[in-house]
Structure 1
Amino acid sequence: MAVQSLRAIRRKIRAVRNLQKIMTAMKMVAAARLRRVQDRVTAGKPYTEKMRWLVETLAPHLPAIEHPLLQVRPVQRRGLVVVTGDKGLCGAYNNNIIRTAQVFMSQDGAAPFVLYCIGRKGCDFFARRGYQVARYRPQLPVTAPFAQFKAVAEDIVQWFVSGEVDEVHIAYGEFVNALVQRPKIVPLLPIKTDGAGDTGQGTREAREYIFEPPAPELLALLLPRYVEHQVYHILLESLASENAARMNAMSQAADNAEELIKQLTLQANKVRQWNITKELLEITTAVEAMRRARD
C-alpha cells in the first residue's frame, strides 16, 4: 500500500513538473508579447498626445459649426465599449474590467446601456446575464496592423453617428507598468472640448488661428483621426495590460508549482523512509524468529 502511495506521489511530481514547464513557457510568450506591445505604445504615444493637444487646443477657437462627432444629444441610450481578452489565465484582469463596467452601469439608471464588446470573455459574460450586446469583435492580436485598429474605431464612430447610442464610454485595462494594471472607463464620444487648451497653469493660450483648409474641412479630417488614435492607444494598452497580467499570473503559478513539488518530494521521502524502516523491521523480526527457532 505504501509502495503504491509512493508511486502515486511520484506521478504527481511528474505531472506538476510538466505543468510548471507549460506555465514557464506561457510566461515567456506573454513577456515577449508585452515587450512588442510596449514598443508600439511607446512609438505611438507622442503622436496620440499631440493629436489630443491639437483637438483640445483648436476646438474652442473654431467657428460655431456642427460636426457629428461633436454633437451632444439628449441621452436616451448609452453605449459602453468593453475591452477584454479572448482567453483566460491572466489572473483577475478580465474580471476586474467586467466588474468595473457593471459598477459603472449600475450608477446611473436614467438611460439604458448598450454594449459593444471587444474580446470573447466580456461578450460571453454579459450575453449570459441578459445585457444588450449590440456588437462584438474578437480581440486583435499583438501583431495586428494599424488598419485593423482603425476599422474598430470606424465601427464605433458609425455606432455613434447612426444614432444607435447617444454617447460612448470605453472600459479597458490601463497599463501602468508590468506589475500594475488598472481597470478604467473614459468618455470617447461625443468629443468634449470643455477646458481645452489648458497650458497646465490654469490659463488658456490667447492665440488666434487662421484655418487652412477651412474649419469644416479641417474638422472632417482631424476629428475622425483623433478618435482612431484614441481607440488605437486604448486597445494597445489593453493588450499590454493583459499580457502583463498573464506573465505575472504564470510566474506566480510556476512558483506555486515549485513549492508544491518541494512538498510532494518531502512527502515522498517520508514514505520512502517509512518503507525502508518497515522492511528493516520485517528483516529483524524474521532474523529473531529464526534465532529462536534454532535455540
Structure 2
Amino acid sequence: MAVSLNEIKNKIASTKNTSQITNAMQMVSAAKLGKSEQAAKDFQVYAKRVRQLLTDLLDSELVAGSSNPMLLSRPVKKTGYIVITSDRGLVGGYNSTVLKAVMDLIKEYHEDPESYAIISIGGMGTDFFKARGIEPIYELRGLADQPSFDEVQKIINKAVAMYQAELFDELYVCYNHHVNSLTSQMRVEQMLPIVDLDPNEAATGYAKEFDLEPGKEALLNQLLPQYAESMIYGAIIDAKTAENAAGMTAMQTATDNAKKVISELTIQYNRARQAAITQEITEIVAGASALE
C-alpha cells in the first residue's frame, strides 16, 4: 500500500523534532561530562595523598604488624557487591554491561543466594535485581550527576559498617570506569579488606619518622575506614563520568540516525511527489485526448 505524501511529511516533521531533542540532550550530557571529568581529576589528587599517607604509615615501624581487621583477610562466607548503574535509560549499553558482568559473577561464584549480598546504587540496577528475585540489602536512587560525598555518605558508611560487623567478609564495587568520551571499561574492584596499600609502591625516598597521637591503632581505626569510604566514593564519581559519556555518545548516535532517516524520507517524499505529478499530467493529457 502506497504511503501518502502527508504521511511522509508528518514522519519527516516528527523525526526532525526527535533529532532536536536528542541533539539538546547530547549537549547537556557533554556539559555534565566536562564537570564530571574535572571532579574525577580533583578526587584523584586527594586519593593519591591519602594513599601515600597510609602506605608511608604502614611502612613505619610504629604500625608494623598491625592487626586492624580492615587489613586482614578472613574466611569468605559471604561477599558484598556494590553495583553502580544509572537511574534512567538513554545511555546505550552502560547499564547492561555492568548488570551482565554482575550476573556472570553470581552464576560463577555463588551457588547459594545466601553467599552474596547486593548494595545497589541507581534505579536501573535496583529494578533489574528485584525483577529477578534478588533483593538488595540497601539501595540508593536519584543520585546527582556530580554527587557530593554527603549524598552518598549514608550508603558508603553502611557498606563499611556491614563489613566491620562481619555481615559479609569481602566487598567489591562493580561499575563502568571512564576511559574517554567514547570508551568505558567494566571494573570489579575489591574495596574490603584493603589489600592495595603496598608500602613498596610509594617509596618517597626519605626516612619516615612519626610521632602518633593518640596511638597507632587508634589512628588506623580512624583512617582506614575513611580510606575505604573515599575509594568507594571515587568509584561512584568515575561511574557517573562514564554514565555522562555514554549518554552523550548515545544521543549523538540517535541524532545521526535521525538525520539519516530524515534524508531517506525526504528522498521518498520527492519520489512520491514526482509520481503524483506524473500521474496528474497523465490524467490531464488523457482527458484532453478524450475531448478531441
Q: TM-score, normalised by structure 1?
A: 0.90
Contact 1:167 1:189 (8 Å CA) reproduced: yes
- Structure 1, residues 71-95: CA drift from partner, whole Å, max 9, x if none? 4322111101100001010000000
Query: 1-side partners of 2:208 and 2:47: how far apart?
Result: 24
Letter of the aligned partner of 2:10 in structure 1? R
**What CA distance in whole angstroms lies between the structure 1 residues aligned with 2:140 and 2:170?**
19
Structure 1 206/143 Cα, relative in aligned 2: closer, same or farther at 3 Å? closer
Q: How far did 1:139 drift?
A: 4.5
Letter in 2 for 1:37: S
- Cα 1:267–1:81 change in 2 (3 A) is same
For 1:207 and 1:82, locate their aligned partners in 2 and report how far apart those are by CA, in whole Å. 41
Aligned to 1:267: 268
Per-residue CA deviations over 1:120-173 (Å, capped at 9, x if unaligned) read 111111111122421111142024332223333212111211221111001011
Q: Which runs of 5+ in 2 are unaligned?
A: none
1:198 aligned to 2:200?
A: yes
Match of 2:68 in 1: 67
Greater shift, 141-150 or 157-166, is seen at 141-150
Task: Report the Cα offset of residue 58 of structure 1.
Answer: 2.6
The 2-side partners of 1:289 and 1:159 are apart by 93
Q: Does 1:187 align with 2:186?
A: no
Correspondence for 1:128:
131
Distance in 2 between residues matched to 1:262 and 1:9, nearest whole Å: 12
| Shift in alpha-carbon separation, 1:193–1:28, aligned structure 2, 3 A | closer
2:150 aligns to what? 147
Change (3 A) 1:191 1:139: farther
Quote the Cα distance in structure 1 between the aligned partners of 2:72 and 2:53. Answer: 19
After the TM superposition, which residues 1-295 of structure 1 pair with which residues of structure 2 at under 5 Å, given as runs? 5-61=4-60, 62-109=63-110, 112-193=115-196, 196-199=198-201, 207=207, 209-213=209-213, 214-291=215-292
**Percent identity over the alignment?**
30
Tell me by how many angstroms 1:5 deviates.
Answer: 0.9
Compared CA separation, residues 54 and 139, structure 1 to 2 (3 A): farther
How many pairs were matched up?
287
SS in 2 for 1:130: coil
Residues 164-192 of structure 1: CA deviation (Å, up to 9, x unaligned): 11110010110111111111100001112
Contact 1:59/1:193 (8 A) holds in 2: no
Residue type of the partner of 2:6? R
Q: Distance between the aligned counterparts of 1:228 and 1:53, measured in 2?
A: 16
Paired residue secondary structure (2:110): coil
Residue 268 of structure 1 and its aligned partner are, at CA, apart by 0.4
Segment of structure 1 superposing worse, 70-79 or 207-216: 207-216
Moved more, 62-71 or 260-269: 62-71
Separation in 1 of the partners of 2:196 and 2:41? 25
More divergent stretch after superposition (50-59 vs 75-84):
50-59
CA contact (8 A) 1:63 1:215 kept: no
Q: Tell me, what secondary structure is at the counterpart of 2:199?
A: coil
After the TM superposition, which parts of structure 1 deviate over 6 Å for at least 4 consecutive aligned residues? 203-206
CA RMSD of aligned residues (A): 2.1
Could you say what secondary structure the match of 2:76 adopts? coil
Maintained 8 Å contact 1:38/1:240: yes
SS state at 2:147 partner: coil
For 2:229 and 2:280, locate their aligned partners in 1 and report how far apart those are by CA, in whole Å. Answer: 75
> CA separation in 2, counterparts of 1:137 and 1:149?
8
> SS where residue 120 of structure 2 aligns?
strand
List alignment gaps of at least 5 residues for structure 1: none
Q: Deviations over 1:207-261 (max 9, x none)?
A: 5543412211221231122122212211111111001001000000000000000
Contact 1:20 1:258 in 2 (8 A): yes
* CA distance 1:110–1:273, change in 2 (3 Å): closer
Structure number with larger C-alpha Rg: 1
Q: Distance in 1 between matches of 2:161 and 2:142?
A: 19
CA offsets, 1:193-212, max 9 Å, x none?
56x02248xx8979554341
* CA shift in 2, pair 1:193/1:145, >3 Å: closer
